Amino acid sequence: MGLVYSGVPAPLARALVDGLGLRLAVETGTNLGESTAALGEMVDRVWTVELSPKYVEWARARHAGTPAITVLEGDSAAVLAGLAPRIDRPALYWLDAHWCAGDSAGFEAQCPLLAEIDALDTSPTAAESAILIDDASFFLACPYPDYRRSDWPTFLEVADRLRARHPRYITTLLDVIIATPPAGRAVVERFWQAKRDADMESSRERARQAEEALRARSATRGEP
């Protein structure tokens, strides 16, 4: 559960899907299936992997009428190891299977991320695919006290693993680690510039509205 978006950051995911021509998506950490649904609106086919039997049941019920979405149960790295070699087109990978407290599964091994990267890199199209990893802040600094630090790799360890087999562009935005083929850098930078421009315009608009409200209050009080 990221600090900026609850689930996959849809605007960023959409930018990568459109900019890199991705038509498949693979998700780890289904939870309630919100991100699964969002990804299903962007691409032709989605596979989502969940360890908790309860969440698997909920997700399968929710997406029962969507044949393009497949819900798989099991350890995310093990399931990816079997799935990735069959991903024959560049895909968007949304990796969010790490333990997130509450009733989520996986407390015994809280962060399978490095094994997930190893598994997805067995795909014949891994080099052309894009990877988004939730909760970047957990890899940049210590997670909350009830998280075992020894289970969580550092950001540099994650980056090294992402570059072990392929020359990826890596950065972090919106509490998400982003890894793309080198051509994806331009896509990410265009997305970020557009978002900053939109945020600045929104900030200016709020300032204008606040100034107008202040003037209106002053006018009703007869102030100069």
The CA distance from 157 to 124, in Å, is 23
Per-residue model confidence as pLDDT tens digits over 24-60: 999 999 988 999 999 999 999 999 999 989 999 999 9
Per-residue model confidence as pLDDT tens digits over 72-117: 999 999 999 999 999 999 999 999 988 665 555 545 656 899 999 9
Burial class (CB in 10 A: 0-12, 13-18, 19+), 56: buried
Band (145; pLDDT cuts 50, 70, 90)? low
Torsions phi, psi for 104 (to 5 deg): -70, 150
CATH class of the domain comprising 10-184: alpha beta
Other C-beta atoms closer than 10 Å to the C-beta of 212 total 10
Higher pLDDT, 170 or 145: 170
In this prediction, residues 123-143 reach a mean pLDDT of 92
Instruction: List the single range of 93-97, 177-181, 193-197, 207-211 with lowest mean pLDDT.
Output: 207-211
The predicted model scores a pTM of 0.87
DSSP label at residue 103: T
Q: Are 33 and 48 in contact (CB under 8 A)?
A: yes
DSSP 11-52: HHHHHHHHHHT--EEEEE--TTSHHHHHHHTTSSEEEEEES-
Geometric angle at alpha carbon 220, from 214 and 224, rounded to 5°: 70
Give the pLDDT confidence score for residue 25 in this predicted structure: 98
Give the pLDDT confidence score for residue 203 in this predicted structure: 78
Tokens of 200: 């600045």
Band (165; pLDDT cuts 50, 70, 90)? very high
